[in-house]
Structure 1
Amino acid sequence: MSKQKPQKRLSGRLVGTNYFYYFCTMELFKQLASLMLPSQILDYFDVVKVEEGATQIEISLDETYPESYKTDENIESKGFMEPTTITDFPIRDHKLLLHVRRRRWLNRKDGVSFCRPLNLV
């Protein structure tokens, strides 16, 4: 007869602990991603997809929706422009392709469409 390890059960009391674990995992992910991606890119973009092939890694990034735009009734997101593909330095002998999608914004006051200015060095 084999001995089984007791199953860990999650109770309502551990919800905060689970959230903290998720938060720590996300912070570690962001730290690791910031080391692999061009500097400051995570200030403006979210990683939405990562695909690894035999010879290349493809990372898809979407422009974030800044808090200041969420609270401004006059600014509205009108979707994304066509992605731009950037070839970056290889990672572990894999070609690295970054597919970057910028948002198109509309100022409802004057009807002008614009892109958010980025300060990437």
Structure 2
Amino acid sequence: MHDSFQALLHLVIPEGVSDYFKLVDHKTQANSIHIYLEELNSIPLEYQSNRLQSKGFFDEVILQDFPLRGREVFLHVKRRRWLNLDSNKVVFRNWEVVAKGTRITQDFAAFLKAISRYQGT
């Protein structure tokens, strides 16, 4: 991705999102903008002492964000899941742990709240 586009992306997505997600695609249509994000393969803090193996993603979640230049903005978010080889259970990032004790923006807090509703299967 071109560096100038990456710099603009930080103006569009909630602050802090790029710490945990990467842009994998975007589409601009007549009345909407679609931004596709995938969670990075970085081990969650609460599982640092466990052996985890990436097992892909939960189903995509679509969140509507603030309009941009008169177009609706949709964030297509894919959350990562891991197999905990110590417990043989599927685990995923706990967004309450991420938010606890940090100073986050209201936009990022709203983003975390929205994606936390979708635990996946």
Structure-1-length-normalised TM-score: 0.69
Paired residue secondary structure (1:116):
coil
- Structure label with greater radius of gyration: 1
Q: Which runs of 5+ in 2 are unaligned?
A: 99-107, 110-121
Other-structure match for 1:56: 32
> Could you tell me which amino acid in structure 2 is paired with residue 79 of structure 1?
G
Q: Which residue of 2 aligns with 1:77?
A: 54
Superposition CA RMSD, Å: 2.5
After TM superposition, give the deviation of residue 110 of structure 1 in Å: 1.3
- Segments of 4+ in structure 1 off by > 2 A? 28-31, 117-121
TM-score w.r.t. length of structure 2: 0.69
Aligned to 1:13: none
Query: Residue 32 of structure 1 aligns to a residue in which SS?
Result: helix
The separation in 1 between residues aligned to 2:36 and 2:27, in whole angstroms, is 9
1:60-119 Cα shifts (integer Å, max 9, x gaps) = 1000011789xx882111111011110000111110000000011111011021111233
- Are the counterparts in 2 of residues 105 and 116 from structure 1 also a CA contact under 8 Å? no
Aligned partners of 1:96 and 1:34: how far apart in 2? Answer: 14
Report % sequence identity.
Answer: 33
Distance in 2 between the 1:110 and 1:80 partners?
19
| Aligned pairs (5 A) from 1:8-87 | 25-26=2-3, 28-66=4-42, 74-87=51-64
Structure 1: runs of 5 or more not aligned: 1-21
